[in-house]
Amino acid sequence: MNWFLLRSETAEASRNMAMDEALLESAPRLGRTVLRFYSWQGTPASFGFAQKYAEVERLTALRPLIRRPTGGGLVSHASDWTYSLVFPTADAWYSLRAAESYRRLHEWIQNAWGRLGVPTCLAPAACKETPGCCFSGPEKFDLLFDGRKIAGAAQRRSRKGLLIQGSLQGQPPGVAESDWQQALCHAANDAWGVRWEPFEPDAPLNDHAERLDRTKYSRPEYNAKR
């Protein structure tokens, strides 16, 4: 099990979403699962592909607002830790039902926190306080720390692969983001025998991401299209 590990530089919101979609579109060519860690310029918020822009606009003062290629609700990126996963169709994860994929993902993250001495648990059921806001309460199988949600994710499955976009918020104090990233990689190695190979986007992938950024995610008419 050789997976790619991509550590992206801090980027604008539109570029981050463009790169995630470009990775999904490139999954057949890359042929391996990709774990990507990234961060955001400024204080943006992202929202699910099917959400209505006018409703999201009323829920937060953060800007810019960027439409994700995945589902889910509104997510602040002012201080979170973000990652994405792209699985090609040949990976067994691609064949999982959405709920099982979600559960497996957060069990993996729970394992990583356990390695850092932080006890967490999976939410047994949904308990939303504000509809449309991802971190206003847990969905089933979200990750909880001290009774509150600290990890959520959204998925998109296509004929080319599976994209998962995840966010961690309200992280336990005293843990560096780099330590959590390392723990996540070690947990995958122990659980599934994953061997990590550093990855840098090649010219076709970068060109695809740049094109998606320019023609889609940076365009106000796209983000406000519904």
What are the domain boundaries of the chain? 2-223
The CATH homologous superfamily for domain 2-223 is: Bira Bifunctional Protein; Domain 2 (3.30.930.10)
Phi, psi of 177 (to 5 degrees): -60, -40
CA distance 212 to 137: 32
In this prediction, residue 202 carries a pLDDT of 98
Bridge-based pairing state of the strands 45-47 and 121-122 = unpaired
Low-confidence ranges of the chain (pLDDT < 50): none
121 counts as catalytic: no
Quote the pLDDT of residue 85: 98
The catalytic position among 121, 127, 133, 134 is 134
Pull the structure tokens for residue 107. 């069990």
- For residue 9, the model assigns a pLDDT of 94
What's the confidence (pLDDT) of residue 132?
80
- CA–CA separation, 120 vs 105, rounded Å? 14
Strand partners, 167: 82, 152
pLDDT of residue 17: 98
Which residue has tokens 């060519």?
Answer: 29
> Tell me, what's the pLDDT at 180?
98
